[in-house]
């Protein structure tokens, strides 16, 4: 295990108040592996509190309040509703929901320069509303989850993804449950 992976495991241990032995950490090759392992170690109430539904409702209400017809299904691309580069609308939704938006784009001169050198990956446009809500939750995990009263496995997944994004500094749109820490996310 390299320094990056050790630091990531330490962050999970700290957040979830558990210990992850080195041999168990070495077996976590994907984000989903980490979620499954941590879920087996953390006591959660298994109550049905659906933060995903709550965030979806807040997002939908903010979009409608801005005068945009909310006419997509959970499996449609969220960028059909609001174009990826419509920065002002995304900022307005962030202000309305009081949630940080997962930022897939860089703006301004620097952003345009980076975009020309390293074009955005095509998979951003394929981000479903359902996946976007998961990413929105992950980016805001500290605001929406009470770490002392984890309610369900979804909250564990949200926190694991959020901590991973935060700690290794990747775009939220690069993190999937099947993402390999070494191959896909570049952790040593």
Per-residue pLDDT of 73-118, as tens digits, reads 999 999 999 998 898 999 999 999 999 999 764 444 444 444 455 4
3-class secondary-structure state, position 26: helix
Eight-class DSSP state of 180: B
Residues near 34 by beta carbon (within 8 Å), at least 6 away in sequence: 12, 28, 160, 164
| Cα 74 from Cα 114, distance rounded (Å) | 31
Strand partners, 180: 30
pLDDT of residue 123: 55
Tell which residue, 97, 169, 107, 167, has the closest CA to residue 133.
97
- Pick the range with the lowest mean pLDDT from 83-87, 120-124, 130-134, 139-143: 120-124
Cα distance from N-terminal residue to C-terminal residue, the chain:
7
Q: What is the pLDDT of residue 114?
A: 44
Quote the mean pLDDT of the chain.
Answer: 87
Task: Output the pLDDT for position 3.
Answer: 55
Q: 85 phi and psi, to 5 degrees?
A: -90, 5
Compute CA 158 distance to the chain's CA centroid, rounded to the nearest angstrom. Answer: 6
pLDDT score for 21? 96
Q: What is the pTM of this model?
A: 0.87
Residue 149's pLDDT is 87
- 46-66: pLDDT as tens digits: 666 689 999 999 999 999 999
Q: What is the DSSP letter of 121?
A: P
């Amino acid at each position: 295990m390299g320094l990056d992976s050790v630091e990531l495991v330490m962050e999970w241990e700290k957040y979830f108040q558990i210990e992850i032995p080195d041999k168990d950490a070495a077996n976590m090759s994907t984000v989903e592996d980490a979620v499954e392992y941590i879920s087996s170690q953390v006591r959660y109430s298994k109550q049905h509190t659906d933060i995903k539904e709550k965030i979806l409702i807040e997002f939908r209400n903010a979009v409608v309040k801005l005068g945009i017809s909310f006419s997509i299904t959970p499996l449609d691309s969220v960028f059909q509703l609001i174009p990826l580069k419509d920065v002002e609308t995304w900022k307005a939704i962030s202000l309305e929901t009081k949630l940080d938006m997962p930022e897939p784009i860089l703006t301004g001169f620097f952003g345009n320069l980076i975009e020309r050198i390293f074009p955005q990956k095509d998979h951003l446009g394929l981000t479903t509303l359902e996946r976007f809500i998961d990413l929105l939750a992950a980016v805001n995990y500290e605001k929406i989850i009470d770490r002392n009263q984890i309610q369900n496995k979804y909250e564990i997944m949200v926190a694991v993804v959020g901590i991973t994004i935060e700690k290794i500094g990747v775009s939220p749109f690069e993190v999937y449950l099947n993402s390999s820490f070494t191959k896909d996310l570049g952790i040593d």
